[in-house]
């Protein structure tokens, strides 16, 4: 059976940098408080009128195609992980395919909140392994600023915008590519992390806008507790199932939710922080895009054969971990 391997990473972040100092002039907060509580110094914001997450996804895909020297006409499928699509419909994937002129591809979006890249990579891997697809682009693109309440000091410090993508291709080479995944959806998270309005249960109205119901609502303590326990347990399960010890794992790539969450997960696993990909200080929480952006940042440090474990947790609650053997030297 063919396996699926990542053959390239592309990314894009907006030019505008929203610093902690600027946030402290908008809400009652400070650089020291934000760094201590969540480990974020700055985040990128797409503040150009008329541009959304599909624009950032398209920029990331363009870089990926350039780096891999791949003809867009040879792409079989584009899957976009996003919680902040440009429109309720059509999908971001269809917009990206149209703008990039991928005439031989089909595409669709996946909504798994902060687990978007993790879940979508597992899906793309299975599609490749089925033998029906040879080349898939997985895009994770989020404009989190579009649903962040900049009057809420608890949540506005967390989120940033960005996109990254991976080329996933079929390979017959042994010892590289996707090895295993452990993915779960608890279904317990609705009360603790959601957007109150804008869906079919509570459509947009004057009332919902006036009462600021179109922003992220989060009960931070509950989310923190579930995130730490779930991510640590999932990584442990993946390691046990594949007979991996700490010394066998080169990198853990966690969802960049909150530095305290990352540190707590690492402590429970007894992993040194120098084995953990972390870039939250500069990008903040970019939801589905965070793991992909970490790979983009750390790509040159990855070596062929490295054992890499991805893990994430998000609204729903959704969570999981994947075991991957890196397939190339950048």
Question: Which residues are annotated as catalytic?
Answer: 114, 255, 285
> Tokens 């970019």 map to which residue?
286
C-beta neighbour count of 195 within 10 angstroms: 15
What angle separates helix 259-269 from helix 220-241, to the nearest 10 degrees? 40
Residues 102, 48: Cα–Cα separation, whole Å: 26
What are the residues facing 285 on neighbouring strands?
A: 159
CB 93 within 8 A of CB 110: no
Residues 42, 93: Cα–Cα separation, whole Å: 28
Q: Is 293 left (phi over 0), alpha (psi -120 to 50) or beta?
A: alpha
CA neighbor of 103 nearest in space, from 82, 130, 81, 74:
74
- Residue 48 CB contacts under 8 Å (≥ 6 apart), including other chains: 14
């Amino acid at each position: 059976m063919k396996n699926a391997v990542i053959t390239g990473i592309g990314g894009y972040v907006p030019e505008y940098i929203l610093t902690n100092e600027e946030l402290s002039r908008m809400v009652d907060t400070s650089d020291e408080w934000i760094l201590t509580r969540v480990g974020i110094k700055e985040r990128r914001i797409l503040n150009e009128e008329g541009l959304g997450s599909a624009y950032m996804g398209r920029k990331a895909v363009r870089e990926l195609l350039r780096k891999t020297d791949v003809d867009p006409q040879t792409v079989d499928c584009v899957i976009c992980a996003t919680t902040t699509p440009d429109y309720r419909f059509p999908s971001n994937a269809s917009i990206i395919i149209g703008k990039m002129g991928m005439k031989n591809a089909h595409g669709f979006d996946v909504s798994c909140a902060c687990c978007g890249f993790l879940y979508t990579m597992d899906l793309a891997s299975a599609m490749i392994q089925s033998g029906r697809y040879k080349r898939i682009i997985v895009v994770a693109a989020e404009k989190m600023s579009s649903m962040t309440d900049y009057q809420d000091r608890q949540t506005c410090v967390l989120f940033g915008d960005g996109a990254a993508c991976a080329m996933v291709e079929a390979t017959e080479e042994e010892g590289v590519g996707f090895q295993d995944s452990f993915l779960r959806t608890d279904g317990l998270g609705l009360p603790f992390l959601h957007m109150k309005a804008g869906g079919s249960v509570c459509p947009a109205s004057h009332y919902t806008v006036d009462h600021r119901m179109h922003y992220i609502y989060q009960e931070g303590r509950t989310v923190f507790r579930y995130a730490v326990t779930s991510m640590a347990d999932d990584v442990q399960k993946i390691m046990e199932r594949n007979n991996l010890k700490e010394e066998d794992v080169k990198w853990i790539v966690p969802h960049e939710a909150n530095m305290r969450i990352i540190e707590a997960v690492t402590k429970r696993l007894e992993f040194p922080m120098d084995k953990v990909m972390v870039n939250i200080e500069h990008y903040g929480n970019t939801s589905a895009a965070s793991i992909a952006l970490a790979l983009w940042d750390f790509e040159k440090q990855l070596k062929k054969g490295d054992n890499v474990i991805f893990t994430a947790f998000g609204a729903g609650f959704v969570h999981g971990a994947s075991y991957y053997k890196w397939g190339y030297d950048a």
